Chain A
């Protein structure tokens, strides 16, 4: 399976934008890029996903590099409730499994 690399932790100030990077240099053409987050003491929660084009939803934006070897999850205005571990995951149809790495722990300062 293609792997992803994320920073272990990041800090942000409340109400400022946050850019969470993810490297996936061995991504295949059929891999979707998924982002999930896990708030403290909760199960993971789907955030956003994309294949080639940038994507926006009510929670976040996903910017995908032209060569697809990296992507960035963008939280436009971080709130204290956004403090969580964010997982970048590559997924294709084979087996329908998600492989979770270590993720990035986002800390939001008031």
Chain B
């Protein structure tokens, strides 16, 4: 049982390049989330999804797009990377019930030069 798996683990981009981060969960969770964490800070929600085919904006959505074509996968895209998007990105998933315990991946460390 892998839980939440993020790929890749590390990536370096040049300004203006695009990339997609993949999150996969094997717990049959309805809800999935993308957060970013800047040095010394707590996590901030970028986008989330309450089910297959649905997405919604979180606290800091600008510069990112997401897709949830399959229940188990949640993709985060950067169309034109900027240095301000240098961060560690975490994916999480949950059943979305009243107590909403979230399970997190190990993170993707992204540097934009």
Which residues of A are at the interface with B, using a C-beta cutoff of 8 A? 32, 34, 36, 41-46, 49, 87, 91, 93, 96-103
Contacts and interface: CB of A to CB of B under 8 A. Distances in A.
23 contacts: A32-B99, A34-B101, A41-B107, A42-B107, A43-B4, A43-B90, A43-B105, A43-B106, A44-B90, A44-B102, A45-B104, A46-B101, A91-B99, A93-B100, A96-B50, A96-B96, A97-B33, A98-B100, A98-B102, A100-B44, A101-B42, A102-B41, A103-B42
Majority SS at the chain A contact face: loop
Contact of A96 (B90, B100, B104): B100
A100 B99 CA distance: 16
A36 B90 CA distance: 14
A45 to B, nearest CB: 7
Contact of B102 (A32, A46, A93, A101): A46
Given A46-B102, A91-B100, A96 B42 contact: no
A43 B107 contact: yes
Contacts of B98: 32, 93
B34 to A, nearest CB: 12
Contacts of B86: none
B41 A97 contact: no
